[in-house]
Amino acid sequence: MSEDKRHEEMKKIRDEVVAFKKSPLYKYRVSQKNLPVVGEGSHSAKIMFVGEAPGKNEALTGRPFCGQSGRVLDELLVSIDIERKDVYITNIVKDRPPENRDPLPEEIEAYAPFLVRQIEIIRPKIIAPLGRFSMRYILGKFGVDNGETIGKIHGKVFEAESTYGKVKIMPMYHPAASLYHPDTRKSLNSDFKKLKEVL
């Protein structure tokens, strides 16, 4: 797929998310004057990071990972000499849940088809789910979910088949976790080093 075609297909997704009135979060988005957060980065990225749902800062700006957890993600990328513009960053759920609560199963189900299309367009070599909800969905979608917790399998590489060939899935803690649990930052540091090696 050409870069122009990828751009065109991603624009379609953005327009559909903006107009997604059937979403369980649409009314909340409008009432709070929030923006949907579709994703940003390279449309031909080798690495795709998938978070769970936007937070307050993300919903105000329309950009993924732009608050405190975004600062952590940026630091982690710098630590392995990868520029943010060269990866693609998105979430499963494209609208902010009230009070930043965990996404509900019906919200994940409603937004997941957009993520699946983004993966098909970008065709990443590595998908890095950030956090347990993202991990569970991605591993399940690719048929490699072994039921283990993120604490057990963060940093492990799962080989999976996609419509465009082989893809590696490497679950990691959500960067926000490191703001409350410093030990997870050590795990993230080592997982990102491994990510660079796998690439």
- pLDDT tens digits, one per residue of 59-102: 999 999 998 999 999 999 999 999 999 999 999 999 999 998 99
In whole numbers, what is the pLDDT of the chain averaged over residues?
A: 96
Query: If you average pLDDT over residues 98-123, what whole number do you get?
Result: 96
- CA-CA distances (angstroms) from residue 169 to 39, 65, 126, 142? 19, 20, 6, 9
Q: Which domain holds residue 175?
A: 3-198
C-beta separation of 96 from 54 below 8 A: yes
Q: Which amino acid is at 185?
A: R
Cβ(160)–Cβ(169) under 8 Å? yes
pLDDT value at residue 182: 85
Write the pLDDT tens digit of every residue in 7-54. Answer: 999 999 999 999 999 999 999 999 999 999 999 999 999 999 999 999
Q: Which residues contact 188 (CB under 8 A, 6 or more apart)?
A: 72, 76, 172, 173, 175, 178
Taking the C-alpha atoms of residue 138 and residue 30, their distance in angstroms, rounded to an integer, is 29
pTM above 0.95, yes or no: yes
pLDDT of residue 178: 92
Please count the structural domains in the chain. Answer: 1
User: Residue 104's domain is classified under what CATH number?
Assistant: 3.40.470.10
